[in-house]
Amino acid sequence: MASTVPAVRQTADVQPWPAPHADGPVSGVVTLPGSKSLTNRALVLSALADGTSRIRAPLWARDTELMARALTDLGTHIERVGEDCEIHPATLHGADVDTGLAGTVMRFVPPLAALATGSVRFDGDSYARERPMATLIDGLRQAGVVVDDDDRGRLPFTIRASGAVKGGQVRIDAAASSQFVSGLLLSAARYGNGIEVVHVGDERVPSAPHIEMSLDMVRRAGVDAAATGPSSWVVLPGRIRAQDWTIEPDLSNAAPFLAAAVVTGGTVTVPGWPLSTTQAGDALRNLLTQLGASVSANADGLVVSGGAEITGIDVDLHDVGELTPVIAAVAALASTPSTLRGIGHLRGHETDRLAALATELTRLGGEVSEQSDRLTIRPRRLHGATWRAYADHRMATAGAVIGLAVDGVVVDDIASTTKTMPDFPALWSSLIGA
């Protein structure tokens, strides 16, 4: 079942980019910037804490800059200190918040803004107005928050904040995004009754590791928080303690760099890979092994070496959907077919990622069968062409991976990678030796 080809969108600073082609095995060490997911959660919790927090080695990229600006507009003082930042909480007030195309901003900031005094209006990029928000709006209303959205369930909308939120049990269908759950959990300790989020949909909540990440960080800030079942989570009311947060490297952003080793038969090391983490990107260790790579962790970090050939994979990516574009790119270069399942929720991300991947791989000569929640990829000899990113950072990096093995690939909008990586082209060229 093929869906409508997504509209071609580009970032404001369009930069068509001839993807470097690898003439041999790619080997090197890639030091990655910090995790967007951890940085933005730390920013939200720090803005609600009872003192000054410090975030060490945060990511400074488009999505985290949007988060910092949103919190600043609401009254929080954020000070850059070298590569770190200090967050000084203050009384929250009304503001106009620009979410850009950042899902964490549009889903994490409204529950925090409900604790302000005054009206807080949310709006973002044109495509942000198409992304689902009705679930969060419904949850906020159940928690006692007044939201004006003209019954659209989309941006723009306005929160009429009174300085306090009742909280209590919230029953929502969060099958479209785990961010609806995380957004409510992160601010809930400041609600009068805390919160109990109950997922009532028939389908599982996607990206479950991100919910565990939120709970873990809330607990580290001194708040009682736990999963009370497979589809329910509780945060009790209480103080959010100021913290000294140290941000891990972004493991999901490691995907294209580690994939470079797989598709070229080289070896790539990512230093600082944590031995234990809540990041979804840690699943790369198992996924790349299934694709035929050799994967090991040592004192130097995570080391991935490509095998004699790339083997197809049949895998459920429901919990780690953000890895899908790069895994699909590697699968398109495999010797046997692959099926990527459980990823229907990716249709509501920066673009409809299933339709986008099917369209772009087909443009390069691939054979892709698209169904509502899966892609089946049958390897074919690919050829060079323009790879459209649809203003989606993960689509852009997938195009870069394809370009290593296929000469003549041009990514139409490499600037979209600034969403989570400040200078992807430089990192990529340094690794490839381009």
Which residues have a catalytic role annotated? Answer: 322
Output 146-155 pairs: Cβ under 8 A, ≥24 positions apart. 147/110, 154/129, 154/130, 155/99, 155/106, 155/122, 155/123, 155/124, 155/128, 155/129, 155/131
Which DSSP state fits 217?
A: H
Write b or e for each residue in 124-139: b if 16 or more Cβ atoms lie within 10 A of its Cβ, otherwise e: bbebbeebbbbbbbbb
Q: How far is CA 344 from CA 149, 176, 177, 362, in A?
A: 26, 9, 11, 19
Q: How far is CA 209 from CA 67, 255, 318, 342, in A?
A: 21, 17, 10, 15
> Any residues with CB less than 8 A from the CB of 223 and at least 6 apart, and which?
189, 235, 236, 238, 239, 240
Which DSSP state fits 273?
A: -
Whole-angstrom Cα distance, residue 10 to residue 391? 5
Whole-angstrom Cα distance, residue 395 to residue 241? 38
Give Dmax (Cα) for the chain.
62
CB 194 within 8 A of CB 188: yes
**Segment (H or E) for 296:** strand 294-298
Whole-angstrom Cα distance, residue 32 to residue 18? 22
What's the chain's Rg over C-alpha atoms? 21
- Residue 200: name the closest of 171, 225, 178, 220 by CA: 171
Whole-angstrom Cα distance, residue 44 to residue 397? 28
Whole-angstrom Cα distance, residue 393 to residue 325? 10
- Paired residues of 138 in beta bridges: none
Record the tokens describing residue 278, joined without a space.
């809540």
